[in-house]
Structure 1
Amino acid sequence: MIYELRQYTLLPGRRDTLIELFEREFVETQEAVGMRVTGTFRVQDAPDRFAWLRAYPSMPARKDALEAFYGGPVWRANRDAANATMIDSDDVLLLHSVGAEPPAWERPPAGATEPPPSLYAATIYHVEDGFSAFFAREVAPVLAEAGVPPVACLETEHSENNFPRLPIRTGENVFVWFARFDPAGEEREVDLPMLKERLTAAPERLLLRPTARSAMR
């Protein structure tokens, strides 16, 4: 599967406005044209950040789905309201799955307002090629032993962006893994000294609180 990890910076106080619009108008309508809205999140401790994960069966399917949605009536009717909440929507990583896919539960119906009690930690490593095999061999067992098993692993998809109307981050090679904590108060980091010589830049760690209709719950 192909994924986009999308991180938006919003105008102060507008995050809930975007989430309400998104969950009402943009979930089923995107999935109807061939993509999967895998997870939608408030970024913890960053009140003006919204992150979400979108999936496609393949790169050709990505192109077809994005053309259908962004050329369709629902986006045209709501794009001004959505864009009016945003400062930046171009922080996007194009990824593919490595092993387990991100988990998904049955999504609550439109109008749901109660978010789940869980929290996801998404850790982004900047790496050289071949890191995923090292992670599976040396890192994942340590995480599992510590009670923080990866529930999904993704790495950079190096295909050309086939829908350039939506920019993606380029010139990077990343590995992203997700851990799930339920309840959120169980969130913790695990010391991983074996990574010291393997990373090409400082890691990024996002604490993600699922929204009411997120399929990752």
Structure 2
Amino acid sequence: MDQHQKSRKTTPNRFSPVVELRQYTLHPGKRDMLIDVFDRYLVEGQEDTGMNIIGQFRDLDRPDHFVWMRGFDDMEARRQSLETFYNGPVWRAHRDAANATMIDSDDVLLLRPARPGTAFELAGSSRGPQDAPADAPSPDRSVLLASTYHVTPKGEDAFVAGFESKAAPLLALLGAEPIAAYVTEHAENTFAQLPVRANENVFIAFSRFADRTALASHRAALAASQEWRAISEQLGRHLSKPAESYRLVPTARSLLA
């Protein structure tokens, strides 16, 4: 490991007040190819411009989807970092290989912490070495669940309060490890070359599980819980459409794991 890589592993990582959640649809069979390019070349290349690469994931239920998140100090910092990276040598060198794997890269949500203290806590986290293989993870790898709720604008405060006071404690009791909660950041997109889903209004709760079996047990417990059904019905009054959830497995170099 060279000195640059070593410093990356030991430098504390700040939380990010502005986060992009990016979901890419890929050509069949190309996900591991993109992960290899991304993890080898695009992590440090982006972080050198001031971004924080929070995590990159395989979607267990959509084999041709790649999901990742990056963070910024604010919207102006986002503009500066994206302009620097996408006009810089690292992206020029690897964009053709990355873009060749993609059908669509425009499914992007711009987010902010739902409340003070609900951002990803990454201080002290470390990522794998730059030459880590892009092999498929074993079944005992940790799993993140991203639960996405499409909240009506007028109902956002009531939904967030209800989720925090009623849903979150029960989810934790039934085996979920809550790690973050975000809502849509409605600030103007400061880098128009990369579109975001500006008309969405979401609340996303991120939870971690030791492995797929633990997540399956958690879901079974929720399905059997009358209390959860009552809470879901109450929270559902503030939703514009049904909730969605994504089972995400970190890659070898994901900071969030």
TM-score w.r.t. length of structure 1: 0.95
What is the match of residue 159 of structure 1?
A: 187
After TM superposition, list the pairs within 5 Å mapping 1:59-208 onto structure 2: 59-98=75-114, 99-104=117-122, 105-113=125-133, 115=137, 117-128=141-152, 129-130=156-157, 131-187=159-215, 188-189=218-219, 190=222, 191=228, 192-193=231-232, 194-208=234-248
- Structure 1 gap ranges (5+): none
What is the match of residue 3 of structure 2?
A: none
Question: Structure 1: how far apart are the matches of 2:250 and 2:70?
Answer: 14
CA contact (8 A) 2:177 2:207 kept: yes
- CA shift at 1:109, angstroms? 1.3
Q: Which runs of 4+ in 1 moved over 3 A?
A: none
What is the match of residue 13 of structure 1?
A: 29
Report the secondary structure of 2:77's partner residue: helix
Report the secondary structure of 2:239's partner residue: coil
Taking only aligned residues, the RMSD between alpha carbons, in angstroms, comes to 1.5
Match of 2:46 among 9, 30, 43: 30
Question: Over residues 12-45 of structure 1, what are the superposed CA-to-partner deviations in whole Å (9 max), with x where a residue is unaligned?
Answer: 1110000000001100110111111101000002
- CA shift at 1:134, angstroms? 2.6
Larger radius of gyration: 2
Match of 1:41 among 57, 82, 86: 57
Q: Between Structure 1 and Structure 2, which shows a larger proportion of helix residues?
A: 2
Question: Structure 2: how far apart are the matches of 1:6 and 1:24?
Answer: 19
Alignment-mate amino acid for residue 167 of structure 2? V
Report the secondary structure of 1:203's partner residue: strand
TM-score w.r.t. length of structure 2: 0.81
Question: Structure 1: how far apart are the matches of 2:175 and 2:121?
Answer: 17
Question: Structure 2: how far apart are the matches of 1:21 and 1:60?
Answer: 28
CA contact (8 A) 1:140 1:149 kept: no
Question: Over residues 67-125 of structure 1, what are the superposed CA-to-partner deviations in whole Å (9 max), with x where a residue is unaligned?
Answer: 11001011011111111000000000000112322243211110113657100010110
- CA shift at 1:152, angstroms? 0.5
Question: Over residues 168-193 of structure 1, what are the superposed CA-to-partner deviations in whole Å (9 max), with x where a residue is unaligned?
Answer: 00211100011101122200333343
Question: Structure 2: how far apart are the matches of 1:16 and 1:123?
Answer: 24
Per mean C-alpha deviation after superposition, the further-off stretch among 68-77 and 194-203 is 194-203
CA contact (8 A) 1:122 1:205 kept: yes
- Structure 2 gap ranges (5+): 1-16, 223-227
Alignment-mate amino acid for residue 52 of structure 2? R
What is the match of residue 216 of structure 1?
A: 256
Question: Structure 1: how far apart are the matches of 2:195 and 2:26?
Answer: 17
